[in-house]
Each structure stands twice: as structure tokens, then as C-alpha cells.
Structure 1
């Protein structure tokens, strides 16, 4: 019982560590365009996002239920599998953060869990119908939907204000961005914080502390909300730069259209219990806003790199989760090895990131090297 209790604590702490990486990895979702247009100062933006992510965590638990008793057969899941799945997700999050790629923390988590459960309990423990209906289909449809809606919204924004002075238009939309970006942060909390709630709840169910089908306890909701909000405040500046300046040249009307679109799609999915990727929704919205503005440039080279990371996320995280599960299943030594490798990798990624640091002072600068890698733009 003592070893189980120790492992349960390790799982909960690892889940909160993933939640923290989710926060700084996904800060760009809500604040990249507002920082890029100057609507909010970088530090103010991440502080607002952190507070609203915490508030959003208390609005709903439907997505958490999808994780805890929808994606896998909770009666076949062990703490070792959950621990390994979380490690796989964390490693992929850190990899994509280092390269400034806005990949999905959500899909990294799903992939890590699927790989670990598959190795530990076999394919029968995974509910593939739920996987397709509530994860794969939304993953394909949501960025396309967000792109299309943002394109139309951006076109209309410029069409309606075409006879108004540009300075006045930008000033008005920057003010609007404060509200729209805040709504994205709130929506992000309702969707992404719940995923960690679901994982911790799944761990409690697997040990018999909670009954099958239980909702997350209040302390799980609070701790998950605090972890993601703290990570959000730290700020994933590398990804903020990519989304704010890398994909397209954002102006205030575009930012407002992209953020409003993302909010609508994310809140609707949370209400329906779809655990979609807020990163993919926001990226689709930004791309649509670039296509919707006349003479805007879309850097398809960067968009292509992002798309590749999306395709790789589920299988890469699943592979990492599967290998971690195999090693961790060898006993306490295996668990210690997996934990040690994860910590060493995190330190290594941080050291590598210091070679080309991105911070609030240079987040709106796109280095010439990245512009070259971006490839041709469209007008």
C-alpha cells in the first residue's frame, strides 16, 4: 500500500507538471495576437491569461469526464500507465516548445496515454470509437472551421471600416482585443485545465479511491487550475513569437477576429465535451485572419512546419508514452529511470533554449533566419 500511495503521489505531481507545461506551451493561444499588435504589453498579457485560465477551470468538467472515463477503459488502467503517458506528453511538449512550434498539448496527452495503455493493457483497453468521435474528428474539423470563420470575420471587419481612418480603426480594435483575448484565456481554462483534472481523476479511480465514473473532486479542480495558470504566467515566448509574428503580419482587426472566432469554437466544444486542441483552433483562426486581409502575407513555410508537428504529435507522444510504460513496468527502478530521464531532458531543453533566448523584450522580433526558413509568402 505504501508503494501504491507513493506512486499515486508521483502521478499527481507529474500530472500537475504536465499542466504547467500546458500553460506555458499554450499561452500563445490567447495572447500572441494581442502582444503582436500592441494591444497588451507582454507581461500584462500573460498575467491576465494566467488569472483567467484559473477562473475558466471552474466553469465545466465535461472535458475531464471524457478523459477519465471516455477515452480508455479505466478498469484496465494502472498508475504506471498514467505516469508513463504523462511523461510522454511532457517530453513532446518540451520538444515542440524548444522549436517554437504551436503543437497540441492536448493531443500530446492523449497520445502519451494511448501509447502507455496500449503497451500496458493492450489495444482492447482503448475506446477507439470515442477516440475518433471526440478527438480525431474535432482535430481535423476545428482548425478548418476556425480558419474559415476568421477569414470571413476579418474580411467583414476591414470592409465595414474601410472609410474610417486607419489609426482610429486600429485603436478601436486594440481595445476590443483586450476583451477578446481575455475570453480566449477563459475558454482555454475551461478546456485544457480539465484534461489534467481528468488524468488525476483517472488515477484516483484506478486505485479505488474514487468510484468508476466519478467527477473530479474540488481539490483536483483547484490544483489543476493553479498549475496551468502558473505555467501561463511564465509565458511560452518562443511559441508566442511564432503565432504572433511568424504565420502572418497581424493587425488589430485581424487579431480581434481570430480571438473572437477561437473563443466561440472552444467554448462550444467544451460545452459538448469535445477535448479539442485550443492550439489548433487559435492557429487556424490566425491563418484565416491572414487570408482574410487584403495584401496580408501568409508564410506557408512556417504553416507547413506547424502542420507536420500536428501530424506527428499523437504518434510521437504515444511512442514516448509506450517506451516509458515498458521501462516503468519493470518496478520501482524502472519508474525512477523514467523520472530521471524526464528531468534530465527538461534541463537539457532549457539549456538549449538559452542559446537563442526569446523573452518579453524580443518576442515581437522575427529573426532573419526564421524568415528564411518560412519560405515564400502569399499576398
Structure 2
């Protein structure tokens, strides 16, 4: 059991690392594409702020670790977590290789749910907790789309009569701030998910009895995500930063502000969201407010399809893996 726990922790940190370069790329995509920050500075800033954010909150971790299933009631819980992490890492790497900004959050939640079902059956899922997580994942990008549209519409009213060059200059400086804020918010939510799944494994393995997140778990998860961020995620940055709309500093700032508000709001509610979904939806909302046909809806549709298939595919992969591991 101790060997299994060590393996789970190592693989969970590998997932956190892939989450760092996969999802955090979204947090700095707009500031890099508008040249508010150089790629090197943006990556270092995002890595540091991610680390701080990850150490600040634990509410989302407790939700992930205890709401999908009760780790004390799931047989072979450690193997369940092992299968879930392997499935989530595989999906992360595949979508990163293809440059698709799919959700690491969806991958992990889908994989954990699928692994629980594969090992213990559908009755082992805590459906009230699972549905509350799904609701947060569905509502948050819709809220980001609407709020992004509203914020950009207000900016158009305030600055529409001014020269675009004069307007963009101060917003380019403001983006230096919002890039760091957005990376911090990413850490407060996304890093918590790996903390939760490691704690799930610790409880299932009999190493602790409560969902209190040990400090060492918080620390290693925060460092892993920060290191992942420092490696960059240029394929994802290219898709989010240039292929959805042509981003200028004013709508880049509006997008960053929108996604920061949405992510932090759900963090305070102790609910996980997909930073990928939120940031991409915020960009779509601000682009639609500026000029509806400016949004590359074909690329946006491809992103939405990736969102829809991530949970079922990662769940099926994890269910198959857990059955193989239990043979």
C-alpha cells in the first residue's frame, strides 16, 4: 500500500506538472499575444503567482476529494486514483500535442468518476456532489461569456470615440497586472484538484481519516504546477491567444478581468471550474461585444467539442484502466 501511495503521489504531481503547462498557458495567452509581456517574463510571472495561489486555498481540494465519492467506501481506492491520474495525464498530453485547449479539470473529474464506476459500480458515485461539480463546470463558462460581453460593451461605451492606439497603450500596461492576477486565480482553483485526489488516496489507503489537506501535499502540488507553468505551453497559447479572435490590449484586459472574477468567485464557493473554459469563453464574449463576426466561431466550436467529449472519454479510459489494474 505504501508503494502504491508513493506511485499515486508521483503520478499526481506529473499530472499537476502537465496541468501547469497545459492550463496555465491560457492565463498568459492574451498578455503574450498583445505583447504586453514577453513570453519569458509571462511564464515566470505565471509560475510564481500560480505557486502562491495554490498555497492559499483548500476548499476546492476538499470538494474534489470528498464529493465525487466517499474514499472510505470505495474498495481499492488507491488503485482507483492511480487509474484516474494515468487517464487524465494521457488525455492532457494528447490534447496538448494537438494544440486543443481542453480542460485538465474535466479530464481529472471525468477520470476519477470513471475509475470509481469501473471499480465499484455506479452506486459508488455520490451523485449530489458529482452533479454540483458538473453544474459549476457548465455554468462558469456561460457566466464568463456573458460577463466578458458586458465588460467589453462598457469599455466600448467609455472609450469608443477615442483613438484605438491611445486606448490600447494604458490597457497594455494593465495587462501586466491582470496576467499575474489571473495566474494567481488559476492556482487557487486548479492546483486544488490534485491536492484533493492525493488526499482521497491517502484516506482510501488508511494513512489519514479526514479531508484536511496536509501541508506537504499543498506544497508539492503548488511546486509541481509552478514548474509546469515555467516550461510554457506555446501550442495552447497560440490557439487561445490568436485563433479565437484577434486580441488587442483592451479586450485582452477585459478577458483577463472577466476570467479572474469568475474563477475566484467559484473558488470562494469551493467549487472547481475549468480555467480553460472560463478564459476561452471570456475571450469569445469580449470579441462578440466588439464585433460578432470577428470571432472565429469555427475554432470556438472545435474547442467546445473538446470540452464536451473530455469527461466521457477520460472516464471511459479510467474505467478500462482500473479493470486492467485489478486483474
Compute the TM-score of the two structures, normalised by the length of structure 1.
Answer: 0.84
Which residue of the partner structure matches residue 248 of structure 2? 251
- Equivalences, count: 325
Q: How does 1:306-345 map to 2 (within 5 A)?
A: 306-330=303-327
Aligned twin of 1:156: 154
Q: Is the 8 A contact 2:24 2:186 kept in 1?
A: no
* Corresponding residue to 2:51 among 49, 54, 59: 54
Q: What do residues 100-130 of structure 1 show as CA deviations (whole Å, max 9, x unaligned)?
A: 1111101100111111111111112111111
Q: Deviations over 1:240-279 (max 9, x none)?
A: 1000001001111101001101001101101111111111
- Note the residue ranges of structure 2 that are not aligned, 5 or more in a row: none
Q: 1:248, 1:296 within 8 Å by CA — same for their partners in 2?
A: no
Is 1:305 aligned to 2:293, yes or no? no
What is aligned with 1:171? 169
- Superposed, 1:125-274 pairs within 5 Å as 125-133=124-132, 135-211=133-209, 213-274=210-271
Instruction: Name the CA distance, whole Å, in 2 between partners of 1:264 and 1:171.
Output: 23
How far has the Cα of 1:137 moved from its partner?
Answer: 1.2
2: CA distance, partners of 1:109 / 1:260: 26
Query: Which structure would you say has the larger Rg?
Result: 1
Partner of 1:345: none
Equivalents in 1 of 2:292, 2:139: separation in Å?
27
| Gap runs ≥5 in structure 1 | 331-379
For residue 72 of structure 2, give the secondary structure of its aligned residue in structure 1.
helix
Once the two structures are superposed, residues 291-343 of structure 1 have per-residue CA deviations (whole angstroms, 9 ceiling, x without a partner) of 0113761111111111111110000000111111111112xxxxxxxxxxxxx
Contact 1:76 1:121 survives alignment (8 Å):
no
CA shift in 2, pair 1:295/1:195, >3 Å:
closer
Whether 1:85 and 2:102 are equivalent positions in the alignment is no
Alignment of 1:277 onto 2:274:
yes
In the alignment, which of 34, 38, 46 is matched to residue 35 of structure 2? 38
Matching residue of 2:102: 103
- 4+ runs deviating over 4 angstroms: none
Q: How does 1:278-293 map to 2 (within 5 A)?
A: 278-293=275-290
Correspondence for 1:342: none
Map of 1:110-121 to 2, 5 A cutoff?
110-121=109-120
Which structure exhibits the higher relative contact order, with contacts defined as CA atoms closer than 8 Å and separated by 6 or more residues? 2
